[in-house]
Amino acid sequence: MLFESLHQSINTSNSLQRSMCPCKISTSASSSFIIEAIIFPKVTDKRGIFHIGNSVDYEKKAELYRQKTGAYIELDSNPLWSVFDKVILLLNDLRSKKYILSWQLGKMMPKRETVQLAYLYFIPKPHKAGTPSRPIVSSMSMPTTGISKFLDKLIRPIFDKHARSTTIIDRVDLIHRLEAYTTNGYLKPKTYLCTFGITDLYTMLPQEESLDILIEFLLQYGYQKIQNIPIDIIRKLALIVIKENVFVYEKKFYRQVIGGA
């Protein structure tokens, strides 16, 4: 889901920086021979696994990723308060026109004293050839976070209801599906099982088209409103979440223009 909250367990940029603090490892076969390397201990995208790698190689892969995907554009200044103002303006406008209720407004309204700019970091994928990096935007305190969480709770139950039969959640779910597949007599000697991967999925999805697909999905199952919110208003709320995906990386500001995570 595009609007799933992608907020990480790291609460502040300081804690992230501490987790990325370079370490010096010295080994000596004799008192006159010392090897010293700068390394980064990194959490990987596989639970419970750490990857030790060269910091220079890490930064090169991050830069190559940005160049390859073209998903991010650099901004001239900190965009936090511009995004904050846009969110406030949109929500107040929707409330004044009675498209959303007071309690819904409260769920989505950001607080000036708690908002923070998101930040980007990369985690290695050691199970893939060449150990590529995966981008993570930590946006726990962005002005759009309340809208993102609200939309997730609004849309996810609908998606689960209508797409559950064709959705595999994880490996355990896959095993259960295969067991049912076998029990129902669908597993034949000529049955082929295959796997495939999509490279850079979350930075290749067109933003406007993704929202069009969301609306088509809702209309297909007869939803004109969800909790009395018209689906065109849901699209507006989703649009600001996707379009205002801004963050800091290496002391520079960026906006994501392709994809949603």
> What does the pLDDT read at residue 29?
44
Q: Report the percent of the chain where pLDDT is more than 90.
A: 53
Does position 244 have pLDDT exceeding 60, yes or no? yes
pLDDT of residue 14: 43
Any idea which of 2-11, 82-91, 180-189 has the lowest mean pLDDT? 2-11
Between 37 and 221, the higher pLDDT residue: 221
23-37, 43-57, 73-87, 158-172: which is most confident: 73-87
Helix (H) or strand (E) holding 203: none
3-state SS of the chain: helix, strand, coil percent to 5?
Answer: 45, 20, 35
| Per-domain residue ranges of the chain | 13-256
Query: What is the per-residue pLDDT for 46?
Result: 55
pLDDT (mean) for 25-43? 45
Handedness of CA 247, 252, 258, 259 (dihedral sign): negative
pLDDT of residue 193 exceeding 90, the answer is no
Half-sphere exposure of 119 (CA within 13 A, CB side): 14
Q: What would the pLDDT profile of 138-151 be if each residue is shown by its tens digit?
A: 999 999 999 999 99
For residues 108 and 146, what is the distance between their CA atoms, to the nearest angstrom? 4
Inter-residue contact 246 to 118 (CB < 8 Å): yes
Per the CB < 8 A criterion, the answer to whether 16 and 119 are in contact is: yes
Say yes or no to pLDDT of 111 above 80. Answer: yes
Amino acid in position 80: L
Average pLDDT (197-205) is 81
Mean pLDDT of 175-180: 92
Mean pLDDT of 249-258: 94
95-to-103, 114, 143, 229, 242 alpha-carbon distances in Å:
10, 22, 17, 11, 21
Tokens in use for 194? 């295959």
Band of residue 40 on the pLDDT scale cut at 50, 70, 90: low
Give the per-residue pLDDT at 128.
Answer: 77
pLDDT value of position 211: 95
For residue 40, give the DSSP letter: E
**Rounded to whole angstroms, how far apart are CA atoms 200 and 70?**
11
Is 22:55 a contact under the CB 8 Å cutoff?
Answer: yes
The per-residue pLDDT for 232 is 97
Which of 29-38, 42-51, 57-66 ranks highest by mean pLDDT?
Answer: 57-66
This prediction's pTM: 0.77
Query: In this model, does residue 22 exceed pLDDT 70?
Result: no
242, 258 contact by CB (below 8 A): no
SS3 188: coil
User: How much is the pLDDT for 261?
Assistant: 59
What is the separation of C-alpha 134 from the centre of its chain, rounded to a whole number of angstroms?
Answer: 10
Token pair recorded at residue 199: 């490279």
